[in-house]
């Protein structure tokens, strides 16, 4: 048996051993490259940016973007912009530490320290010194990352789970490799994990200190690399989980306190993070234009594939997400750890979906989803992009081993005493549906419920290890040992051996005759490089080194240049596999260049391979060839340079036989099919630009289509229903049925979303369902715009199926309270449907009386709207073409008409008929939204106690409100009628009392009518212009006039939002309860879709809607 006290003493010892091993592997031979700076990002930082960063001579220049030497985006000497793409913070720390060390040089000399130490201190502000210090800082940061993995793992899986996770992170090759470069990604990872750890403590302790810790982590993470910005969501999720837990598990008063406190702590954390970011990266704000151009525009174009940089062409055609995962499985983590991490991540995702994940797992998963979600879509897939999430993948793999151990413990025949946990991990997040309200269930607690504790599943070490524990032990041993072997072999073979370029250069100097001609590839380093030995540079040997422009598009001129160069030269040098592995992946663009490399390696060009320098991962007899790995994994610290020597001169006929005419089929600029990221950033077809400049404001706001109208993808799927188009009755019933079914499918979602409304959002389900389906289709048509994902019947049906699947899932999760509600409130639902049908039929009748859409002045803007509607249903991509502006796009609010277009395609009813069905539908949707609002308000205080009383209150209130809002206008109509009567009246009576004269004259006018006189014509337009120079339409006028205008379509969105407004918290609302933080969060979630629809359908009214929305 294990002694608990001995185990507790063993933990810090084991942790120190793990951290010591991590430090050894990361700090091992930081001068591995001998000063050649093989990593281009590191090279530019230490040789170009760092030497120019200094404190300005004048305080007035410190924050001046054009005069401050602290601004990495601007060259003060040349007054030119610089394309700095990383965060300020690592650069500032590098320069500061180098300056401090340089100041210690005199002290080191006075103390008589070794010459190497003195040289180090005196050269810290050189490129070599910056590189050494930068690598040391990154290595230190990654050691701290290992420690944070332990801390996070300890809180989720217990102390032994934390130790195992830290050990596996110690032996993760990707982390070890990146610690040997000055790259900001490992530093970003450190502060990202710090923010996650702080968020976990924030959930558990809810203290100011944890908020400060979280804010520091977020601020420095984003200040290190802007791509870490999604980390701001993690404390928000932690606060949401804490507030939900407090709301459902704690006493009312204590829960309200926790909710208010969490809101304040999250605001503190986010506010502090912004301050830290502003202080450590000031010129992101002060020189935002250059920051945007360098980081957002240029880097965005690079990672999306819109920019055609040669150093990213190796990723053309690679599979989103899978390429990242595959490279981590094979190289970054190794097969054993990679597979464990992959299965563990899937396991955590499943747990989360089932509501059984720990809060810590949810927070880690939040960061993974928000970061890897968009990053996985990048065209540029450098392996270092994965390091911010790799430690968490390792952590989830460890969790799987912990679960196996826990399974073994449960399989033991008799229970055994439990060892007290070293710490208090976070609670299990168990989401259930009780009265349609998600809750959190704790596994155990002996403290206040907002600070829960659980027993670690691997803490039970007092009992003897049984056979049931063997799977966990076997997996842990296999993964740990294999990871250790892989990482030690990597460090030994790569960093324990001279860099291949140095070895290769020495061979060239010793074996290639002076004055030889050595051809090399452009976009790669020129070899041989200088080495610190006699005659160790190319000039000492009079080498001629012409360049082979292999990344240039294939052409006859390129062919002639290659032929003449290889004829004149004696050797060809390939410094890395950059070009000869990338170019064959684009045979459409490089048919000649692809054939060139084939002929070079086969010897057809008269050259043969005479030497290659390689440093594989090596441990004893074990050697692992890493050259098949991703380019960024090999070409920096262990490339494979090759030397080809000419053996014979080829004739013109031989050259033509090998390469002649092969350039004729080359597709210049070809980059493969556009990725989703490329489409998001405006890519066209399969071409890219070398380095597109950011579009000007005028270019971005072009009103023209990308292609002429007659070349747009044709779509003709909007009038397929011959029966409905030939029968008004069938069209009317079918249209109503489709709207009803959409509302029915959306009801499970509104049932959960509006769980505190007495009608559970049933009156809003049709509006919400239509908005959800239409938004999915609109996003697909805006981002992709194809038949399979665009404004097409296929996409609409697919969206309906997704809504149906979601509804089935929600119905299964909350079927008991939902069925109970249907039984209890069936009369309310039936009356809601009856009211919808009644309003729908009333306005159908009005449209039958006047269905014309063409009248040039009495028809309002119907001709414009039917033109737009036709253009929308005929456009597969959004924005649609403008039927009144040749080859232009609609420059107006069209989203409301897009909603109608979705119904048109679903029903197959032609637009001319659907126009007159849409107006009654919008009136009916507005009516039941108002009915829902008024009914919920009237029945709020009785909803929980007496369903019968609540229903009796809701129905008359809702009907009356519907009459007031939908069917009644302002009093100007009655006032105009009285004025017309008064103008007919004959009376000499006068009084100073306001209105009496008019009333008496009106009585006289009424008598005149009785006598047979005709009243003056009623001007129906005046009641809509009661305020001079403005339009003051009311719903009934709009629905009666029947212009399918954005402001009328927006009515139901506004009413939908209003209906969700008053009852988002616990009932009753007024005046017994003050607004709560959770209520505010729910209001935002519930109102965001209608408000967004309001913005796109009638944007000029959005500010007032946002101001009135909670």
Q: What would the pLDDT profile of 150-208 be if each residue is shown by its tens digit?
A: 999 999 999 999 999 999 999 999 999 999 999 999 999 999 999 999 999 999 999 99
pLDDT of residue 1099: 52
* pLDDT tens string 820-854: 888 888 888 899 999 999 999 999 999 999 888 87
Rounded Cα distance between 646 and 567, Å, is 9
pLDDT of residue 898: 93
- How much of the chain exceeds pLDDT 70, in percent? 84
Distances (CA, A) of 795 to 121, 251, 784, 905, 1068: 65, 47, 11, 10, 42
Calculate helix-pair angle for 159-170, 470-490, nearest 10 degrees: 30
Tokens 């607004």 belong to 1075
pLDDT of residue 864: 86
Rounded Cα distance between 871 and 410, Å, is 65
Tell me the β-bridge partners of 689: 307
User: What is the DSSP pairing of strand 547-548 with strand 518-521?
Assistant: parallel
Tokens 């968009």 belong to 374
Nearest Cα neighbor of 202 from 214, 193, 216 is: 214
Rounded Cα distance between 374 and 304, Å, is 10
**Backbone CA torsion sign across 1068, 1074, 1076, 1081:** positive
pLDDT of residue 1084: 42
CA 740 to chain CA centroid, Å, is: 34
Rounded Cα distance between 396 and 361, Å, is 8
Q: Which helix (H) or strand (E) holds 607?
A: strand 607-612
- The residue that leads in pLDDT, 690 or 790, is 790
pLDDT grade, residue 28 (50/70/90)? very high
CA 1085 to chain CA centroid, Å, is: 18
Strand, helix or coil for residue 572: strand
* pLDDT tens string 737-768: 999 999 999 999 888 888 777 888 898 899 99
Buried b (16+ CB within 10 A) or exposed e, 25-62: bbbbebebbbbebbbebbbbbbeebbebbeebeeeebe
pLDDT of residue 683: 56
pLDDT of residue 965: 86
Q: Tell me the average pLDDT of the chain.
A: 84
How many C-alpha atoms does 299 have within 13 Å on its Cβ side?
18
- The residue that leads in pLDDT, 840 or 427, is 840
Rounded Cα distance between 949 and 825, Å, is 11
Judged against a pLDDT cut of 80, whether residue 1056 lies above it is answered with: no
Phi, psi of 469 (to 5 degrees): -85, -10
Instruction: Answer whether 966's CB lies under 8 Å from 927's CB.
Output: yes
Query: Residue 299 corresponds to which tokens in the numbers above?
Result: 């880097």
Rounded Cα distance between 1089 and 771, Å, is 7
Rounded Cα distance between 648 and 381, Å, is 41
Strand, helix or coil for residue 33: coil
Judged against a pLDDT cut of 90, whether residue 502 lies above it is answered with: yes
pLDDT of residue 1109: 47
H helices of 158-184, where?
Answer: 159-170, 173-178
Nearest Cα neighbor of 404 from 331, 332, 361, 340 is: 340
Nearest Cα neighbor of 256 from 246, 248, 266 is: 246
Judged against a pLDDT cut of 50, whether residue 695 lies above it is answered with: no
Task: Give residue limits of the domains in the chain.
Answer: 9-300+309-468, 500-665, 722-964, 972-1024
pLDDT of residue 690: 44
Judged against a pLDDT cut of 50, whether residue 671 lies above it is answered with: yes
Judged against a pLDDT cut of 60, whether residue 453 lies above it is answered with: no
pLDDT grade, residue 468 (50/70/90)? confident
* Longest CA span, the chain: 126
**Backbone CA torsion sign across 850, 853, 855, 858:** positive
Distances (CA, A) of 369 to 230, 365, 393, 967, 977: 9, 6, 12, 48, 63
Average pLDDT estimate for 26-32: 94
Instruction: Answer whether 156's CB lies under 8 Å from 361's CB.
Output: yes
Tell me how crowded residue 100 is: count the other CB atoms within 10 A of its CB: 11
pLDDT grade, residue 926 (50/70/90)? very high
Q: Which helix (H) or strand (E) holds 301?
A: helix 299-304
H helices of 158-251, where?
Answer: 159-170, 173-178, 185-205, 208-224, 233-249
* ∠ CA 898-903-906, rounded to 5°: 125
* pLDDT tens string 367-423: 999 999 999 999 999 999 999 999 999 999 999 999 999 888 887 765 544 433 344
Judged against a pLDDT cut of 70, whether residue 720 lies above it is answered with: yes
Strand, helix or coil for residue 1062: coil
Residue 53 makes CB contacts below 8 A (sequence gap 6+) with 69, 70, 72, 91, 92, 95
**Mapped to the 3 state alphabet, what secondary structure does 778-839 carry?**
HHHHHHCCCCCCCCCHHHHHHHHHHHHHHHHHHHHHCHHHHHHHHHHCHHHHHHHHHHHHHH
Residue 960 makes CB contacts below 8 A (sequence gap 6+) with 934
* pTM of the predicted model as reported, rounded to 2 decimal places: 0.67
Nearest Cα neighbor of 584 from 400, 386, 316, 981 is: 316
Average pLDDT estimate for 813-825: 86
Rounded Cα distance between 161 and 167, Å, is 10
């Amino acid at each position: 048996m294990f002694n608990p006290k001995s185990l507790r003493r063993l933990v810090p010892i084991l942790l120190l051993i793990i951290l010591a091993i991590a430090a050894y592997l990361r700090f091992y031979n930081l001068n591995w490259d001998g000063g050649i700076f093989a990593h281009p990002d590191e090279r530019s930082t230490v040789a170009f940016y760092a030497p120019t960063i200094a404190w300005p001579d004048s305080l007035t220049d410190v924050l001046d973007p054009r005069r401050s030497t602290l601004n990495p985006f601007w060259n003060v000497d040349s007054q030119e912009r610089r394309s700095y793409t990383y965060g300020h913070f690592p650069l500032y720390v590098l320069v500061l530490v180098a300056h401090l060390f340089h100041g210690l040089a005199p002290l080191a000399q006075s103390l008589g320290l070794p010459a190497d130490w003195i040289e180090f201190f005196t050269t810290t502000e050189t490129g070599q010194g910056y590189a050494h210090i930068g690598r040391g800082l990154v290595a230190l940061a990654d050691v701290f990352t290992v420690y944070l993995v332990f801390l996070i793992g300890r809180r989720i899986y217990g102390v032994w789970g934390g130790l195992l996770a830290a050990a596996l992170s110690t032996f993760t090759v990707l982390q070890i490799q990146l610690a040997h470069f000055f790259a900001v990604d490992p530093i970003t990872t450190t502060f990202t994990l710090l923010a996650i750890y702080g968020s976990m403590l924030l959930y558990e302790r809810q203290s100011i200190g944890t908020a400060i810790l979280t804010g520091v982590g977020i601020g420095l993470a984003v200040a290190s690399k802007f791509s870490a910005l999604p980390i701001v969501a993690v404390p928000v999720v932690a606060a949401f989980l804490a507030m939900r837990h407090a709301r459902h598990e704690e006493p009312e008063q204590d829960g309200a306190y926790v909710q208010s406190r969490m809101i304040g702590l999250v605001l503190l954390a986010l506010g502090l993070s912004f301050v830290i970011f502003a202080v450590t990266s000031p010129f992101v704000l002060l020189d935002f234009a250059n920051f945007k151009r360098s980081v957002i525009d240029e880097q965005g174009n690079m990672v999306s594939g819109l920019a055609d940089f040669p150093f990213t062409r190796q990723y053309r055609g690679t599979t989103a997400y899978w390429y990242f995962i595959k490279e981590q499985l094979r190289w970054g983590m190794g097969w054993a750890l990679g597979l464990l991490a992959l299965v563990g991540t899937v396991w955590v995702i499943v747990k989360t979906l089932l509501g059984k994940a720990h809060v810590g797992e949810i927070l880690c998963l939040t960061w993974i989803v928000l970061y890897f979600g968009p990053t996985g879509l990048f065209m540029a897939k450098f392996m270092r992009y994965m390091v911010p999430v790799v430690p968490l993948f390792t952590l989830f793999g460890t969790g799987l081993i912990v679960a196996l151990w826990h399974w073994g413990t449960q399989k033991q025949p008799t229970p055994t005493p439990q060892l007290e946990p070293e710490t208090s991990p976070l609670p299990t997040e168990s989401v259930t549906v009780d009265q349609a309200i998600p809750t959190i269930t704790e596994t155990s607690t002996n403290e206040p419920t907002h600070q829960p504790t659980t027993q670690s599943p691997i803490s039970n070490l007092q009992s003897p290890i049984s056979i049931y524990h063997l799977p966990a032990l076997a997996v842990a041993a296999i993964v740990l040992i294999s990871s250790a072997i892989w990482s030690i072999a990597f460090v030994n073979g790569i960093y324990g051996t001279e860099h291949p370029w140095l070895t290769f250069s020495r061979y060239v100097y010793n074996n290639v005759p002076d004055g030889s001609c050595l051809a090399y590839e452009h976009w790669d380093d020129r070899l041989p490089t200088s080495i610190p030995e006699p005659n160790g540079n190319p000039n000492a040997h009079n080498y001629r080194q012409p360049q082979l422009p292999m990344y240039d598009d294939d052409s006859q001129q390129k062919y002639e240049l290659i032929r003449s160069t290889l004829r004149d030269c004696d050797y060809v040098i390939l410094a890395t596999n950059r070009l000869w592995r990338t170019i064959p992946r684009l045979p459409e663009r490089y048919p000649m260049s692809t054939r060139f490399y084939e002929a070079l390696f086969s010897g057809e060009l008269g050259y043969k391979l005479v030497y290659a320098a390689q440093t594989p991962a090596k441990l004893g007899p074990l050697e692992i060839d890493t050259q098949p790995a991703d380019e960024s994994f090999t070409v920096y610290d262990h490339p494979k340079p090759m030397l080809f020597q000419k053996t014979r001169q080829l004739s013109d006929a031989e050259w033509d036989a090998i390469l002649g005419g092969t350039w004729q089929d080359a597709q210049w600029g070809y980059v493969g099919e556009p990725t989703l990221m490329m489409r998001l950033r405006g890519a066209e077809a399969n071409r890219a630009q070398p380095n597109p400049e950011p579009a000007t404001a005028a270019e971005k706001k072009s009103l023209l289509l990308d292609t002429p109208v007659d070349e747009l993808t044709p779509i003709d799927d909007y009038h397929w229903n011959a029966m409905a188009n030939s029968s008004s009755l069938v069209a009317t019933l079918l249209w109503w049925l489709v709207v009803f079914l959409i509302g029915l499918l959306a009801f499970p979602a509104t049932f959960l979303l509006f769980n505190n409304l007495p009608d559970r959002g049933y009156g809003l389900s049709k509006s919400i369902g239509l908005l959800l389906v239409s938004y999915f289709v609109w996003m697909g048509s805006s981002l992709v715009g194809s038949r399979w994902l665009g404004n097409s019947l296929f996409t609409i049906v697919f969206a309906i199926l997704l809504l149906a699947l979601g509804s089935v899932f929600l119905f299964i999760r909350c079927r008991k309270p939902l069925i109970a509600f249907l039984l209890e409130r069936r009369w309310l639902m039936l009356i809601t449907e009856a009211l919808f049908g009644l309003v729908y039929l009333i306005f159908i009748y009005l449209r039958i009386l006047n269905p014309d859409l063409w009248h040039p002045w009495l028809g309002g803007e119907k001709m414009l709207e039917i033109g737009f509607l036709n253009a929308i249903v005929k456009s597969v991509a959004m924005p649609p073409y403008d039927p009144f502006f040749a080859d232009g796009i609609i420059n107006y609010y069209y989203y409301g008409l897009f909603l109608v277009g979705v119904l048109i395609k679903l029903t197959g009813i032609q637009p001319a008929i659907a126009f007159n069905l849409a107006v009654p539908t919008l009136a009916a949707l507005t009516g039941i939204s108002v009915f829902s609002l008024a009914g919920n308000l009237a029945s709020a205080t009785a909803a929980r106690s007496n369903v019968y009383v609540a229903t009796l209150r809701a129905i008359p209130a809702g009907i009356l409100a519907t009459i007031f809002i939908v069917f009644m206008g302002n009093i100007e109509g009655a006032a105009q009628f009285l004025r017309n009567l008064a103008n007919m009246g004959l009376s000499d009576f006068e009084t100073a009392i306001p209105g009496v004269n008019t009333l008496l004259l009106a009585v006289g006018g009424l008598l005149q009518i009785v006598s047979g006189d005709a009243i003056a014509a009623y001007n129906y337009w005046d009641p809509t212009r009661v305020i001079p120079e403005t339009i003051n339409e009311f719903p009934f006028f709009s629905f009666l006039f029947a212009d399918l205008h954005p402001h009328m379509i927006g009515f139901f969105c506004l009413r939908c939002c209003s209906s969700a407004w008053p009852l988002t918290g616990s009932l009753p609302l007024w005046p017994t309860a003050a607004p709560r933080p959770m209520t505010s969060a729910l209001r935002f979630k519930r109102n965001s879709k209608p408000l967004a629809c309001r913005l796109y359908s009638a944007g000029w009214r959005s500010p007032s809607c946002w101001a009135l929305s909670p």
